Amino acid sequence: MATTQFGKETSERGEFVRQANRFTQRITADGSSGWRAEPGRYRLVVSLACPWAHRSIIVRRLLGLEEAISLAVVDPIRDEKGWRFTLDEGGRDPVLGIEYLSQAYLATDPEFTGRVTVPSIVDIESGTVVTNDYPQISLDLSTQWREFHRPDAPDLYPADRRAEIDEVMDPIFRNVNNGVYRCGFAGSQQAYDEAFTALFGELDRLTERLSGQRYLLGDTLTEADIRLFTTLVRFDAVYHGHFKTNRHKLAELDVLWAYARDLYQTPGFGDTVDFDHIKRHYYVTHDAINPTRIVPLGPDLSGWDRPHGRA
C-alpha cells in the first residue's frame, strides 16, 4: 500500500483502497450484541455532504425514527482534526458536548490513528462510538429498530428478498458508489481507466434494468435504491467534473436521470439533499484535486424538480 497526494491509500497499481470501518458493533432489537435499540440512547452523526452518511439520513426519515435517534450534523469542511461541530452554537455538539467527532473516536479507542468517518453512531451516556459501519447501520435501522418505526413505514430490506437485494447492491457499491472514488483518487492512469470503464459499464447495465421497471427490485422501493440514489444525486454537482467521471452527465442519461428525479421528489430523499454542503465539501476539502478551492457555481440544479414520468 502507498499513500497518494490525496492522503488516500492506494494499491501498488495506483488503485484507491477504502479504509476499513474501525467500529463494527451492532445495535440489536434484543440487545444480544451488547447494545440494545432504545429511543434516546444514541446520536447519529452525519455530514450532509457524505453519500455514505446520506443513506442513514434517508432511511431514518423514511422509517420515522427521527424521535428515536437524534441527529448531529457536522460542518461540511473538515480541518486537520477531521469533522467539526462548528454548525452548532459555540462549535460544540449540544448533546455530546464535543467539538470534533474525533473526540468520541479517541474516547472509544485512545490508540486510533485512522481517518474519522461518518456516519457514526455514538452512545450518548458514555460518549463512545458504537459503530461507523455504514453498510450495516442503514440495514440495522430497517431490521433492528422495527418496534420504533412509524406505522406505515416501508420495509426497505424484506427478509424474503434480501439475497436478491444484496446481489443488486454488490456491483453498485463496487462500480458506482465506490467507483466514483476509484476514479477521483486513482494514483495511475491505468487505475483511473479501469475504474471509469467499470463505472459507466455498470450505469449502462442499470439503465437497461430500470428501463422496464420503476425501482431496482421492480415496483418496490428498497435499500438498493437508496444506495444508488446517494451517488446519482451528487453525480453532476461534483463527480462529473471533480472526479473526472465525465463520459456523460447524469442529466444526459435519460432513464437514470428520470429514475433519480423520481426518488428525489419522494419525501425523505430530496428534502435530505443539501447541494451547498455537497459542493463545498468536495471542492474545498480535496485540495490536492482542486488546489484553488474554488467552488463552481454550476451546474443548474433546477431540473431535479421537473416531472419524471415514472410513477
> Nearest CA to 139 among 159, 122, 124?
159
Which grid coordinates belong to 103?
473526540
Q: Please count the helices (runs of H) and the strands (runs of E) in the chain.
A: 10, 7
| Pairing label, strands 70-73, 42-46 | parallel
Would you name the residues annotated as active-site residues? 50, 181
Distances (CA, A) of 113 to 22, 102, 158, 230: 10, 10, 37, 28
CATH topology assigned to domain 2-148: Glutaredoxin (3.40.30)
Q: Mean pLDDT, consecutive 10-residue segments, the chain of 311 residues? A: 52 85 96 98 98 98 98 96 97 98 98 95 98 98 98 98 98 98 97 98 98 98 99 98 98 98 98 98 96 97 96 84
Binding-site residues: 83, 115-118
d(CA 63, CA 275): 23
Q: How many angstroms separate the CA atoms of 221 and 214, rounded?
A: 9
The answer to whether 120 touches 22, Cβ cutoff 8 Å, is: no
What residues are designated binding site for glutathione? 83, 115-118
- The CATH architecture annotation of domain 159-266 reads Up-down Bundle (1.20)
Q: Where in the chain is the domain with CATH 3.40.30.10?
A: 2-148
Helix (H) or strand (E) holding 73: strand 70-73
Helix (H/G/I), strand (E/B), else coil: 93: coil
3-class DSSP state of 128: strand
- Which residue ranges does the chain devote to CATH 1.20.1050.10? 159-266
